[in-house]
Structures are given as structure tokens and as C-alpha cells.
Copies of this chain bind each other. A is one copy, B any other.
Amino acid sequence: MLSRPDRLLPALDLARRVEAGELTPEGLVDLCAAAISAREDDVGAFTYLAIEKARAFARTDAARLRALPLRGLPVGLKDIYDTHDMPTEYGSAAYRGHQPASDASTVTMLRRAGGNILGKTVTTEFAHQQTGKTRNPHNLAHTPGGSSSGSAAAVAAGMVPIATGSQTAGSVIRPAAYCGVAGFKPSYKLIPTIGVKCYAWSLDTVGFYGAGVADVAFATAAMSGRDLRVDRAAPTAPRVALMHTHIWADASPDMQNAVDTAARDLEAAGASVTEVALPPLLQDAWRAHKVIILYEAGLSYAFEYDNKRDLLGPKTVAMLDEAKTVGVDAYDDARRIAKRARLALAHLMADFDVILTPSAPGAAPHGIGATGVANFNWLWTLMGTPCVNVPGLSDGAGMPLGVQIVGRFGRDRAALEAALFTERALASRT
């Protein structure tokens, strides 16, 4: 079941070629269509495809698209992003054939920036753990991770240059790591979640996948109008806090090796790297994530739990059953811990630009009935900090291993720049 690595579609390079007149927006769709034709039957990244519509749009709007930042780049949307012109099923039989009346704000932002929506990608049910059909492009017997399974796999299989995800536990960073692509979770609330099915309102963050770090930075900058591009100058050497964290023993030997390799490569490239322990309060916050996600999911999905339970997958029902056990006092305690931990983290990071830590416990596990564990993501999602999966390493079987760069809250550009520095440091070694 092991397959060769696919050729990725680098968003920045493709956009430049359209700008230079070497490629047309329609040509971009053709590139995607060819990869989809070759790989979609195996990978199963999409739940809905609109290739002909995207091609027609690229043709009729070519001149306008060419003048916009994204230059007509095709985009895959995780199927929890509402679209007024494509079904949006939230990965759930409870929403089979559901057609929203409007687009998510991010979808309009992508369209305004010149993105061309190619289709909807597979999500686990309600962005939790009930898996869909998607397989890991690097080895079809392995999970692509979740919940943004289809988006990470579609980018990894070279089917789209850009895809959207969302992270409430570890749903952007983990699939990026498992699929060997760049994934970016911006600071909490930097990008609106309006029209993205809510899982937990204190945690939900939209994210982006691309071939490399500069590509996700470019896509996020283009759609948000923010100064996030990192491709215009060489990244400066960051001050890195290496955090093994209190769950280092849960990381596979390969992952431990990958993180320590990245640390050495960063130092060799001129970065300062200091090993920093995770303070007890942040370990408390790590535990508090589960209380918050459960309590809020219990209310976010209250309608479906009360009215559509028979149509929900067993993992979704089990999660919502468990949510009933979390009371408001436990929830309020967890929120207070999170608030204190955010202040402590800001204090801890005063002398550092970023944290280096695992993106996941290891490479993508075998089997597609589970999406792996998000334990290396919970804390950072709760802290609201920008996170980037940096691809480039792999285990002995050729499966990708991602290392995670965690930035300071609101310093998204610095996080991306440090991630690019890391990506280049890893590339220069191999």
C-alpha cells in the first residue's frame, strides 16, 4: 500500500507563474484535475468536487483572477465550511445533502482574494473523531489524521495548492504532520470562524494547508489582507524554546529524534535553542483543554444530540454522552486555569520567539478508523497561539514526521518566519 510521494502544488510558485503569464487560472485547474484523476480514487480526499465549474469560472474570470492576490489558485474547503453553491455535510449523515444559504466568511474572503473553490474535502463527523473515507497519500493503509483529513491529504497528493482546515484539539497541525505538508493554525480569532460549524467556541480556529511554510503564509496573507508573507526576505534566526513537554515519553523514538534533529539543525543554522520545561500551570491547562472542549461541544452540538442522535456516529455520540458529565463549575475552573496559563506563557516567552515541540506523537498510525492523538496540540490550541507544522522529516518507513513551531499569541508573522527558517534548516541538511 506504500505509494510514492506525490508532487506537491506550491501555491506561491504557481501564483507567480500566473502573474508572469506562464500559466492561466484554467491551467491551474487542469493541474489539480490531473492529480485528482490520478489519485482521488485511492486517497478519497473529497466529498464534493466542482472541477468543471471551477474550470469555467477560471476561463470566464481569467483577467480578474489574474489581478487578484491568489491568481485563481484552486482551493479545497473542509466540509465544515458553509458554501452556498456546494453541499456542506459536516461529515455527518445527519446533514446528508445539506445546502447552506450562505458562504462562511473565510470562503468569501478566499473568493475575494482570487481563490477558485474546487470542492469540499472530507472531515470527520463534526470535526471530532468519527472518520471518513480518506487515506494517507504516503501510505494508503494509514490515516491522514483528522479532523481535517481530506484537506491535508488533498494538498499532500498534489490535488490542490491550498486547502482549509480547522483546529479545536489538533485538527490542523496533526493531519499536516501525518501527510507531510505545511499546516498553519493562526492565533485564536485572527481569522473569523463565521459559517464554520462550531465545535467549541473558545478553541475553534480556522487553518490552512500548503506545500511549504511560505505557501500557507502567502495564502493566509492573501485572504486576510494581513502582513503575513515570509517569502520576500530570508528569515532571521529565531530564539527557540525547545519544549519536550511533560508527555515526551508519549512521543515515538522517531518523533523524539525528529524534534532533537530539528533543534540541532536550527542551532547549526544560527538559531539559539534553549531547552525549557513546561511549567506545572501549563500542564494543568493541558488537562483543562478536555473539560472545555467537552462542555462546549455538548452545547454546540446540542441540537443534533437531542434531535438526530440516531444518525450520528458512535464516537460522536460517546463524546456527547461524556459532555453531559461536565458541569459549569468544572468548566469555569478550566477557563480560569486557561486564563492564568495564557499569562504565564506570555511571561515565559518574553525571551523567546517560538517554541519547538512535536506536531504529533509520531508518524501517521496504521488504519483509517482512527485519526491519531492530539495530545501535542491541546495545550497550544487552548493558549490560542499560532502553530505551524513544518514538514521535511520522515521515519524509516518513509512516513512523514512533522515538527511544530508555536509562536507567541498575535505574533503570527514571527511564527511563520521561524517555521520557514526551520524548514530551510531541515532542507539544508538533507
Contacts and interface: CB of A to CB of B under 8 A. Distances in A.
A430 interface: no
Contact of A84 (B112, B201, B307): B307
Interface string A286-315: 000000000010011011101100000000
Interface string A206-230: 0000000000000000001110000
This chain's copy number in the assembly: 2
Contacts of A101: 95, 98
Contact of A225 (B189, B202, B327): B327
A302 B108 contact: yes
B192 A300 contact: yes
B201 A302 contact: no
A298 to B, nearest CB: 9
A332 to B, nearest CB: 8
Looking at A108, A195, A300, which has the most chain B CB atoms within 10 Å of its CB? A108
A68 to B, nearest CB: 13
Contacts of A226: 328
B192 A102 contact: no
A109 interface: yes
27 contacts: A84-B303, A98-B101, A102-B304, A102-B307, A103-B303, A103-B307, A104-B303, A105-B299, A105-B302, A107-B303, A108-B299, A108-B302, A108-B303, A109-B299, A109-B302, A111-B306, A112-B306, A189-B202, A192-B201, A192-B296, A192-B299, A192-B300, A194-B198, A194-B201, A194-B299, A225-B327, A226-B328
- For the complex of A and B, the 7 pairs showing the least CB-CB separation, nearest first, are A108-B302, A103-B303, A102-B303, A194-B198, A105-B299, A108-B303, A192-B299
